[in-house]
Amino acid sequence: MSYAILFLILPLFSAFLAPLGSLVREKFGNILNMFIYAAGMLLGVWLFRGLEGGSIELVLGGWRAPFGINLHLSPLSVGFGVLVYLLALLIHVSDLGRGRPARYNLLFGLFVFSSLGVMQTGDLFNLFIFIEIGSIAVIALTPSVSDQAGTRGAFKYLVPSGLLSMIMLGSIALLYSCLGTLNMAHIASSGPLNARLGLLLGIGLLGVFFFETELFPFNTWVPDVYKGAPSSFSGAIAGIGGLSGAVALGRVFLTMMGEGTSFQLSRHSLTVLVFGVALASILVGEFAALRERDLKKVMAFSSVAQMGVVVLTFSTGGANGLFAGLFLLLNHSVVKPLLLIVTGFFIGVTKAARWDEMKGVGRRYPLMGALFILGGLSLLGMPIFAGFWAKLTLLKALFDEGSFFALTGAAAVLLSVIIEGVYLMRIGHVLFEREEGEAAPADRATVKNIVLAALPALVLALFTVAAGLRPTLVSGFLKSASTDLLQTSVYIENVLGALSRVGGGL
């Protein structure tokens, strides 16, 4: 199934054909990108239907294990890959009226490509390369609209990103010197590492994923990047970047470092580390969002807390907890781009960044106000929305487990719901508060701007409502994805079996 490689490389066509299309007409490049992302989404749906719970292993270069580089197309990587293509398509729709230059579309295509690669690769060094490509795109796109705020955000991303990348690279080199392989399936099936060495290498490898998933204390860049970047790209960072980072973290921590793997002697210590980072992220993110007044920064700190809840399920809650965590990840990846697209619209029409200065904007634009409230309710976990089933399933799994970690995590999740409710209700009240006098004519948005912002937000809103009313629409995929992460032996068998059947070698 060599055509399956297109599921990864289609964004490269988007990246490098868009500038050529722009030579014909500026908007032609944007439209070309939309067609490519739509094609990638349809290809992913077709691939997913053919998986039937199994996987497709693509071996690059014809090299046998442990030297072969493979792509692992499974329910996890293909299903969430379809969502990445959908988000990329909708974000391009919201950008149609903003005249994004060709270089912007090129870098955005590379960002999407790297996000897909991070979820599909089975090789640690390739994983490192994909992360670096994505980092370059984020650093370049963040200051593409606001020079001062964007440059500040890009710099705050660059410094820790570079440091953690070097630590990851050093850990990869040390791991290779110990085991003689960088293939994740081969690493998982190797003999156990010394407990202290395994803990050291685990910390070095996981740190960059904590950074990519916006977890505390690696989240210092998050509010400034969300603030400085275009609102649509902030949505891409939250939806696409956070999604791919969490999937990669799950693959490395749950599959490569799972029970019975080469990290088995340090597994408990690494689990405590992941739990502590996730718990701190929930509390720090929610309390920071509660005191913040800049609306985009509120969304940023909310992402820190939401991703903390997702990663919490990697360390406690068992299989049901992981299923709920992936459900929460799906909900967050849909809802947060919705909220940021609407936030960008509100900032554009009010010329204000603080939510307490956006008084009555929801009354003036009731559809956009309703979409913001709807997204907030799903994030909060209210009934009829996808977030409700995700949080309900998570709490049940944590209480059923009953361990100290699980009950502590459940308390943190319940506290986060209360704090979220407080700041989202305050924002919603201000948005629909009655104004004193009429808004200035300059604040009036055109019909075109309203449609381009409302259309993608409406699609995402319908998605979360549909998944809330009929959770079976996504539950089958999510169960397959959670099983894919937890069944290390099946992953090893599929990957190494595919690598052993190809020719080539040193």
* C-alpha to C-alpha distance for 353 and 481, rounded to whole angstroms: 38
The strand pairing partners of 56, in sequence order, are: 73
* C-alpha to C-alpha distance for 266 and 259, rounded to whole angstroms: 10
Domain count, the chain: 1
First vs last C-alpha separation in the chain: 25
In a domain, 475, yes or no: yes
pLDDT at residue number 495: 83
**Domain span at 334:** 2-500
pTM of the complete model: 0.92
Q: Is 160 exposed, middle or buried (0-12, 13-18, 19+ CB in 10 A)?
A: middle
List, run by run, the mean pLDDT of 10-residue segments along the chain (506 residues). 82 79 64 87 90 80 70 91 94 79 84 93 90 91 78 88 91 90 87 88 92 89 89 89 93 89 89 94 93 91 94 90 93 94 89 85 88 91 88 92 90 93 90 66 64 89 92 90 88 80 52
One-letter amino acid of 227: K
* C-alpha to C-alpha distance for 393 and 401, rounded to whole angstroms: 12
pLDDT at residue number 357: 85
pLDDT at residue number 447: 75
- Residues 368-389 pLDDT 10s: 999 999 999 999 888 888 888 9
**Token digits for 504?**
């080539």
pLDDT at residue number 95: 81
User: What does the CA dihedral 79, 84, 89, 92 come to, rounded to 10 degrees?
Assistant: 170
Indicate the SS3 state at residue 69.
strand
Nearest-CA neighbor of 479 among 275, 333, 337, 330?
A: 330
In a domain, 459, yes or no: yes
* C-alpha to C-alpha distance for 257 and 199, rounded to whole angstroms: 10
pLDDT at residue number 489: 85
In a domain, 506, yes or no: no
In a domain, 505, yes or no: no
pLDDT at residue number 503: 54
* Residue 74, φ and ψ in degrees, nearest 5: -125, 175
Nearest-CA neighbor of 267 among 329, 320, 337, 188?
A: 188
Residue at token pair 């969490």: 246
In a domain, 437, yes or no: yes
pLDDT at residue number 381: 86
In a domain, 332, yes or no: yes
pLDDT at residue number 203: 93
Instruction: Give the β-pairing of 69-73 and 56-60.
Output: antiparallel
Q: What is the DSSP letter of 254?
A: I
**Token digits for 247?**
């999937």
pLDDT at residue number 442: 41
